[in-house]
Structure formats: C-alpha cells, structure tokens
Amino acid sequence: MSKKMVEAEQIHPIIDRTFNFEDLNQALEYSLTGHATGKIIINF
C-alpha cells in the first residue's frame, strides 16, 4: 500500500543523509546519535 501511495505522490519519504558505502562507520555513528530526522541512505 505505501508503494502505491509514494507512486501517487500522496506521501514522500524523508531522507536525512546519504553516505557512500566507504563511509558506513560514519553513517552508523550518525544513526546512533539519535539525531536523524529521516532515513539514512547508503550508496553502494
């Protein structure tokens, strides 16, 4: 259901930060701070 809602632009995912795979440790540290207000994306 949520996929259909995103496709219909009824809801929008919130992306907080994007990290490269090489910076995975930094992404994890950021996640553990509790300051993320949306999703944390890891690019492969």
DSSP per-residue letters across 1-44: -HHHHHHTTSS---EEEEEEGGGHHHHHHHHHHT---SEEEEE-
Q: Tokens representing 5? A: 């809602």
**Average pLDDT over the chain, rounded to an integer:** 91
Q: Where are the domains of the chain?
A: 2-43
| Confidence tier at 1 by pLDDT (50, 70, 90) | low
Question: pTM for this one?
Answer: 0.71
Per-residue pLDDT of 23-33, as tens digits, reads 999 999 999 99
The percent of residues in the chain predicted with pLDDT above 90, rounded, is 70
Handedness of CA 32, 43, 8, 3 (dihedral sign): negative
